[in-house]
Structure 1
Amino acid sequence: MTTKQSLRALDLTLVGMFAALMAIGANITSWAPFLVVGGVPITLQTFFCVLAGAILGRRLGALAMIVYTLIGLFGAPVFAQFSGGFGMIFRPTFGFILSFILAAYATGWIIEKSPSSPSVARFVTATLVGMVINYVVGTNWMYFAYKYWAQAPKGFSYSMAWSWMLAPLPKDIILSIVAAVIAPRIYSSVRKSSSSSRYAA
C-alpha cells in the first residue's frame, strides 16, 4: 500500500497529538469551575481546533477532531469537565463538539487554497473563519437543544444563547489570531517532513 493510500506514521502522530490537546483544552474548567457561563464551559478547544486545521490541513485537521469526538462518545472522559459517552449527543453543548470537525476542515481548506506560500493574513482569515463556524454551529445547536429536548433556563431565548457566548468571545478571537501567528512556521515544517517521508517511502 502506498503512502497516498494510507496515513503515514507522522500523520497518525500529529492526529493523535491534536486529539490529546483537545482533551486537555476541554478540561481547563475542571481546575477553574468559575469558567462556566450559562452552562457553556470556557475552554481552549477552539484554539486547538483551528490550530489543527492551520497546521495539519483540512483532511488531517478534521480527522483529528473526528478521532477526538469518537474517543469521547465511546466513553473516554475527554469532553469538558471530564465528561464522555453517547449521552453527550443530547447535551446542549454537543453542537460545539461537532462544529470542531467543520471548523478544522474550513481552516485548513482556506490555507491550502493559497496559490503560493500562505501569508500570515491568510492564516488569520482561516482561523477566524474556523472560530466563527464553531460559534454559529455550536450556539444554534444549543438553542434548539434547549427549545426541544433539554431543560432550558427560565426566560431562555435566542438572544440569551448568544449573550452567553460573549464571555469566551474575546479569548477565542485573541487565541485564534495567536494560532494564526504561530502556525505558519510549524505548517512549513510539517509539509517538509511529510514530503521527506513520502520521498523516502
Structure 2
Amino acid sequence: MSTKKGLTALDLSIGAIFVALMAIGANITSIAPFMVIGGVPITLQTFFALLAGLMLGSRLGMISMLVYMLLGLVGAPIFSQFSGGPSTLLAPTFGFILSYPIIAFIIGKIAEKNRKLPVYLGASLLGLILNYAIGANWMYLAYQVWFEAPEGLTYALVWIWLAVPLPKDIILAIVGGIFAHRLEKSFLARSQFRAQTNINNS
C-alpha cells in the first residue's frame, strides 16, 4: 500500500514513462528542424505535461515533470534539440520547461476532484494558458535582462512568435483532455494505479 510519504514501484515506473515521453516529445525538431520559429521549438512537451497531470494526478504528475527538468539541468540531453546542462536555466525558452511541473500539479488537482469530460477539457486548456503565460514572460525577461535580444524585440513580438505553435497546442490540449478522460473511464478508474492514487490523495 502506498502512503503520502513514499512512491511505489508502480509510481516510479509510470513516472519514468512520462519522463521518457517528454524527452521524445522535446526532440521532434531533431527530425524536423524547420519546426523552430522565432527561437521557439514546436514540440510535444506541453501535450505530455498535460497528460501527466490528468492521468498521473497532481503529486506524481508534478514529480515526473520535476524529474524531467532536473535530469536535463544536470546534463542529460533530453531538452529540445538534445540539449541539457545548467546553462539551459538561462535560455529564453526555459520558462516553458519550468511551467511543466506547475501545470501538471494544478490540472492534476482539478481532475482529481471531478472526473467529467468538461473538467478535463477545461483543465487541459487552463494548463496550456499557464504554460504560455510562464513561457512568454520568462522569454521576455531573459531577452531584457541576461540574453542578447533580437533587434526590435517587444513584449508583443514575443506573443506573435508564440501565436505560430498556439493552434497546434490548442488542438493537442483538447485531444489530450479527451484521451485522458477516455482512458480514465475505460481503464484507469479500475486500475491498481488509480486505487493507490486515491489512497495518496485521501
TM-score interval (norm. to shorter): over 0.9
Does the CA-based 8 Å contact 1:56-1:190 persist in structure 2? no
Identity of aligned residues (%): 51
- In the comparison of the two structures, how many residue pairs are matched? 194
Once the 2 structures are TM-superposed, how far is the Cα of residue 48 of structure 1 from its aligned partner? 0.3
Match of 1:163 in 2: 160
TM-score (normalised: structure 1): 0.92
- In the alignment, structure 1 segments of 5+ residues that lack a partner are none
Structure 1 residue 3, shift from structure 2 partner: 1.9
Note if contact 1:41-1:80 (Cα within 8 Å) is conserved in structure 2. yes
Residue of structure 1 in register with 2:9 after alignment: 9
Code of the residue aligned with 1:193 in structure 2: it is Q
Please tell me whether the aligned partners of residues 27 and 81 of structure 1 are also in contact (alpha carbons under 8 angstroms): yes
Q: Which shows bigger deviation, 105-114 or 121-130? A: 105-114
Which of 179, 191, 200 is 1:182 aligned to? 179
Alignment match, 2:55: 55
Aligned counterpart, 1:133: 130
| Structure-2 separation of matches of 1:166 and 1:197 | 40
Moved over 2 A (4+): 185-192, 194-198
CA gap 1:195/1:163 in 2 versus in 1, 3 angstroms: closer
Is the aligned partner of 1:111 residue 2:108?
no
Contact kept, 8 Å, 1:49 with 1:104, in 2: the verdict is yes
Structure 2 equivalent of residue 32 of structure 1: 32
Structural RMSD (CA)? 1.4
Aligned-pair CA distance for 1:190:
3.3
Do residues 120 (structure 1) and 117 (structure 2) align?
yes
Q: Deviations over 1:84-131 (max 9, x none)?
A: 0000001110111000111111111111122xxx11111000111111
* Higher mean displacement: 86-95 or 177-186: 177-186
> Match of 1:131, SS?
helix
The aligned counterpart of 1:193 is 192
Q: Contact 1:65–1:104 (CA<8 Å) still a contact in 2? A: yes
C-alpha distance 195-142 of structure 1, shift in aligned 2 (>3 A): closer
The one-letter code sitting in structure 1 at the alignment partner of 2:36 is V
SS in 1 for 2:27: helix
Instruction: Give the SS at the match of 1:165.
Output: helix
* Structure 2: gaps (5+ residues): 198-202
Distance 1:69 1:185 in 2: 28
Map Cα deviations across residues 161-189 of structure 1 (whole Å, 9 max, x no partner). Answer: 00000111000000000011110233353
Per-residue CA shift, 1:105-158, capped at 9, x if unaligned?
1111111122xxx11111000111111110000110000000010011110000
Q: Is residue 99–residue 133 contact of structure 1 (8 Å, CA) maintained in 2?
A: yes
Q: How many angstroms does 1:197 deviate by?
A: 6.2
Q: Tell me which amino acid in the other structure corresponds to 1:72.
A: G
Aligned-partner Cα distance in 2 for 1:196–1:58: 15
Equivalent residue for 2:46? 46
Flag the 1:75–1:121 CA change in 2: closer, same or farther, 3 A.
same
The aligned residue for residue 173 of structure 1 is 170
